[in-house]
Amino acid sequence: MVKQIKIAPVSRIEGHAQVTIDVDDSGKVSDARLNIMEVRGFEKFLVGRPVEEAPRTVTQICGICPVSHHLAGAKAVDACFGVETAPTAKLLRELMQYGQFIHSHSLHFYFLAAPDFVFGPDASPEQRNVFGIIAANPELAVQAVKFRKVGQQIVEATAGRSISPVTSVPGGITKGLTQADVDRLLPMAKEAVEFSKATLALAKPIFNQYIDAIKILGEADSMHLGLVKNGNLELYDGQLRLIGKDGATIKEFDPKDYLNYIAEYVYPHSYLKAPYWKEMGWENGMYRVSPLSRINACDQISTPLANAELQEFRKAFGRPAQLTLLYHYARLIELLYSSERAVEMLSDPAITGKELRVPVKARAGTGVGVIEAPRGTLMHDYDTDENGIITKANIIVATAHNNKAMNVGLKNTAQKIIDTPTPAEGILNRMEMVIRAYDPCFSCATHTVAGKMPLEVVLNTPSGKQVLRR
């Protein structure tokens, strides 16, 4: 008889998800899958709206990834109008991107991923969380908060506010940086470089300590997709490159042509779509996007410190590296890269330029905006009529690209580590670690149409008697 083990909700991720594991009386696992049961309606919300509203509207998709949606939406809007972004505005949008990576990657490592490695997968859930980190090392926790704040300060200076950006408009941006802004932000960015180096120095021995877990959790060998520019790691612009399991480039193409290569599959157990490489079909076309995919896809990194870390990483794990928990390691290399790039951009006098916007004129058109969100490749695709009104919108988020790999990784892991219908809490946490490695954002991927949070609140008296459940 098949019994279902449910892990619900999966903790320390963005949004809401459930893992279902089918296991028989002998403890043999026959299947495991990721359930995402909310529907995202933003593509429909956009239809009928003026396209210039899109970069501000799509920030409401998610409170964690608003910069990603703002920037991808802005690039798509510029393409709909058929204009090149004003030169200074392009620099400011890119700087905004690095600010987001600094705050998002530092948040994920210290507060979502680190508890599993600092205390161990079998530690008590009461300890294995952000409050456990604060109690164990309050000085480190304070530094982590300051680190994330650097990213938020850069985002606020370029985006108008630290969440839900408002500055990107058709053809450019509404707000430039002053020299006073640069004088304030540049020392912070330099400090972020030092903290990134310290974070890698802290994390690498921990990764080595848990290398056995890294080798068995989340196995999902795949192709990898990411932006590159002249072979370098790229987060804002460039070409999309797909590499195979042997590390060879399968295709490098203009992001606006993504529909020629990518199709979407729908699982019967989830509302989260699952893109795949069209030419190879659903069964064989699985690829991943992520920090690990990006450093697999690129030939090198343009900044010296991050590139040195990449070479050390490749010496240890090869190219492409496939171990899912190495996402954490790759994320920290990108953290260092983003900090170095922020220093470079803030040191460039062009960042205070005045070429903030080019004129635009409504027309019928199609615009595709592709950037790298912290979690992987993000695509916005809009069609407009002759009045600039959106007639069709399609959004593919990083978490969707990784949907099949997460399901494959869960099944492979469950079949390796579960041998009883009643596994211990630490075993179930290892299943959650597979999901956390991807840093998925289910808030981006899906939303409940009813606008309700799938959260149950239970109020008990001090004696344990339940007095309210909503």
323: phi then psi, degrees, rounded to nearest 5: -65, 120
What is the DSSP secondary structure assignment for residue 52, as one 8-state letter? G
Compute the distance between CA of residue 58 and CA of residue 70 in angstroms, rounded to an integer: 6
Burial (CB < 10 A; 0-12, 13-18, 19+), residue 204, is middle
Q: What are phi and psi of 172, to 5 degrees?
A: 175, -140
By three-state DSSP, how is residue 385 classified? coil
* Residues placed in the known binding site: 43, 62, 65, 395, 441, 444, 447
Query: Containing H/E element for 68?
Result: helix 66-81
| Rounded Cα gap, residues 48 and 60, in angstroms | 17
How crowded is residue 243: how many other Cβ atoms within 10 Å of its Cβ? 23
CA distances (Å), 427 to each of 8, 34, 392, 433, in order?
14, 17, 44, 10
Instruction: Please report the sign of the dihedral spanned by the C-alpha atoms of residue 375, residue 256, residue 237, residue 385.
Output: negative
Residues flagged as binding site for Mg(2+): 43, 62, 395, 447
Residue 166 and residue 46: Cα distance in Å, rounded? 17
Helix boundaries (H) for 318-420:
327-346, 398-401, 403-417
Task: Provide the annotated binding site for Fe cation.
Answer: 65, 444
CA distance 29 to 4: 10
Tell me the H-state helices in 355-424.
398-401, 403-417
- CA distance readout (Å), 435 to 68, 199, 399, 431, 445: 21, 22, 10, 7, 14
* Residue type present at position 66: P
DSSP state of 1: -
**Binding site membership for Ni(2+): which residues?**
65, 441
At residue 9's C-alpha, the angle toward residues 412 and 397, to 5°, is 70
Measure the CA–CA gap between 228 and 238, rounded to whole angstroms.
6
